[in-house]
Amino acid sequence: MLVLCAPDSFKGTISAANAAAAMVHGVEAAGHQGIALPVADGGQGTGDLIVTAAGGQRIVVETVDPKGRPMKGHWFDLDSKQAIVESAVASGLGLLSSGDRKPTHLSSLGTGVLIAAAIDAGAKTVHIAIGDTGTVDGGCGLLQAIGVELLDHLGHVLAAPVTPTEIFNIASFRIVRQLPSLVALVDTKAPLLGPTGTAHVFAAQKGASTSDVDLLEAALTHLAHVLDPDCTTRLLPGAGAGGGIGFAIAAVGGTIQSGAEYVLDVIGFKKHLAMADLVLTGEGCLDGQTTSGKAPLAVAQAAANCGVPCVAIAGMLGEGYESLIDTGVFHSCTSLLEYVPIEEALGDPAAAIAHVSAKVPESL
């Protein structure tokens, strides 16, 4: 068999590139041919993966983290006036200790600083990968950094960053510089508001208490009234991605795109798929949220469209993973923990992934 190995990262344990290499090692140990083609969906590592596939360079600049602390960040110059910014670089959950994870007081300003640096360097199109963020500010800080003034009821410009507790002070906004084409690369179809929106679904994962979730929902609702009086942008699938960064980008004329589909196009996934007999994909946890725009689902859908079976390997299978089988695009889903103890899976994830990958072709 020719096996296309296209996993996302197993977050916190192994990168997408190393997971793909481990899958190749496993299938080749079983006597098959493997091709490593790591994928991403807009989360951490998306920029590096695209630069590796399409060329470009990393540009290091000064920015701030979600608490406003100075740090070094980077953006990716793809040439041809195109750039990629990862929100996780300056607004990522991984930048925060458990005690700092209080999204009511955090800002996406640092991501905006990175976007502004790309614009200042001449980028005409900026793709913003907005997965893995620790903020839920509706993109307010980001907007302030790129040239969008947020005004109070007296017409005064609010100081940056406007955090969620201060969103209620916003009465209007104005764009004070010409913005390039902005594209939000999202890993979820969540809208901005409501029971399936960013506050109710994702804020608790970022450290929000029950009362915090209520405050965040109210703040984002107020922001939507200001930036989206026609009640259209807030409803877009992916508007809730990145703690509402998707909404902010769309509200100032940008667009929202599936991060996974964008990545698959850039890396030439369909070309490789045409030669494959089997596809392996996966990530750290497969669960009900995987169906909302994560990379493994995009990989499986592309494989199904070409009539190639796709098997997902996860670090663990979480609540609602059965819905992945219900989509009809996965041949099967399996967990490392079905084959090795959790200590081994965490201690040497590459060996565990290789071990499981070696068994998959024979199980078809």
CATH number at residue 312: 3.40.50.10350
Determine contact, residues 107/163, Cβ cutoff 8 Å.
yes
Separation between Cα atoms, residue 294 and residue 75, nearest integer Å = 22
- 186 and 306, same domain (yes or no): no
- 242 and 318, same domain (yes or no): no
Q: Which pLDDT does position 361 carry in this prediction?
A: 86
**Residue 265 located in a structural domain:** no
Question: 28: closest CA among 275, 358, 359, 361?
Answer: 358
pLDDT value at 320 more than 90: no
**Residue 221 located in a structural domain:** yes
pLDDT value at 253 more than 90: yes
**Residue 28 located in a structural domain:** yes
In tens, the pLDDT along 106-137 reads: 999 999 999 999 999 999 999 999 999 999 99
- 285 and 236, same domain (yes or no): no
- 123 and 142, same domain (yes or no): yes
Q: Which pLDDT does position 318 carry in this prediction?
A: 87
Instruction: Please give the distance of CA 203 from its chain centroid, rounded to a whole number.
Output: 15
- 232 and 208, same domain (yes or no): yes
Percent of the chain at pLDDT exceeding 70: 100
Q: Which pLDDT does position 62 carry in this prediction?
A: 98
Q: Which pLDDT does position 291 carry in this prediction?
A: 80
pLDDT value at 272 more than 90: yes
Q: Which pLDDT does position 322 carry in this prediction?
A: 83
Phi, psi at 215, each rounded to 5°: -65, -45
Q: Which pLDDT does position 307 carry in this prediction?
A: 95
Separation between Cα atoms, residue 171 and residue 156, nearest integer Å = 10
- 321 and 352, same domain (yes or no): yes
pLDDT band at 167 (very low <50, low <70, confident <90, very high): very high
Q: Which pLDDT does position 79 carry in this prediction?
A: 87
Mean pLDDT taken over the chain: 95
CB within 8 A of 341, min separation 6: which ones? none
Number of domains present in the structure of the chain: 2
Q: Which pLDDT does position 351 carry in this prediction?
A: 97
Q: Which of 231, 260, 289 is the endpoint of a domain?
A: 260
- 177 and 299, same domain (yes or no): no
* Interval 287-293 mean pLDDT: 81
In tens, the pLDDT along 62-109 reads: 999 999 999 999 999 998 899 999 999 999 999 999 999 999 999 999
* Interval 28-45 mean pLDDT: 94
- 195 and 51, same domain (yes or no): yes
**Residue 91 located in a structural domain:** yes
pLDDT value at 279 more than 90: yes
* Interval 240-265 mean pLDDT: 97
Q: Which structural domain range is residue 246 located in?
A: 46-260
* Alpha helices, DSSP H, located in 184-341: 198-202, 210-227, 241-251, 259-266, 269-273, 295-305, 322-326
- 191 and 338, same domain (yes or no): no
Question: 5: closest CA among 13, 22, 15?
Answer: 22
- 224 and 177, same domain (yes or no): yes
- 60 and 25, same domain (yes or no): no
Give the 3-state secondary structure of residue 214.
helix
Determine contact, residues 161/140, Cβ cutoff 8 Å.
yes
Q: Which of 260, 291, 324 is the endpoint of a domain?
A: 260
In tens, the pLDDT along 41-69 reads: 988 889 999 999 889 999 999 999 999 99
Question: Which CATH number goes with the domain that contains 68?
Answer: 3.90.1510.10
Q: Which of 208, 229, 260 is the endpoint of a domain?
A: 260
Q: Which pLDDT does position 247 carry in this prediction?
A: 98
- 127 and 103, same domain (yes or no): yes
pLDDT value at 364 more than 90: no
Q: Which pLDDT does position 287 carry in this prediction?
A: 87
* Type of residue numbered 98: S
**Residue 232 located in a structural domain:** yes
